[in-house]
Structures are given as C-alpha cells and as structure tokens.
Amino acid sequence: MIHDGSLSGTYIKVQGVDTTDRFPIFTHFLMLEMVYFGVAMVLILLIMGLYLRSALITLFTLLDVIFSFGVAYFLYFMVFR
C-alpha cells in the first residue's frame, strides 16, 4: 500500500534510482535515428518518382504519409487512452 507517498508494505519496499538524465539522452539518440528515417523517405520517394515518372503521384504519396502520422497521433493519444 502507499503510505505518505512511499511505496512500502510489510514485506516489500520499492526503491528507485533518479533517472532525470535519461530523457535528454533518449531525445538526443532519437534525433540521431531520425536521420535514417529521413534518408529512407527521400530514397523511397526518389525511386518511386523515377519509376512512375509522375511528380503528382509522388507528391500525393508524400502528403499521404505525412497526414497518416497526424491521424495515428490523434488515434493513439485521444481515442485509445
């Protein structure tokens, strides 16, 4: 049970370590990994544009991917929580 803000009981005591430095490091490495996503997206759109020979279809595909992130964000944080 929780008594006065501490997580302890008769036989169990929950202890933790301060991890406030973890989140800036996570953000840093996440941004480094986003470079791979950007390079992959550019290569896929370039190959698709060359294969289809249509800038319009390539542009609409790019817009579809961008808008799908917004829809997924909304569904995850507003609907499924």
44: left (phi over 0), alpha (psi -120 to 50) or beta: alpha
- Cα atoms found within 13 Å of the Cα of residue 1, Cβ hemisphere only: 3
Q: Nearest-5° angle of CA 14, CA 28, CA 65?
A: 105
Interval 2-52: pLDDT, tens: 455 566 666 766 666 555 666 788 788 888 899 998 999 899 999 999 999
79 against 22, higher pLDDT: 79
Mapping DSSP to helix (H, G, I), strand (E, B) and coil, where does residue 8 land?
A: strand
The whole-number pLDDT of residue 1 equals 47
Tens-place pLDDT, residues 52-67: 999 999 999 999 999 9
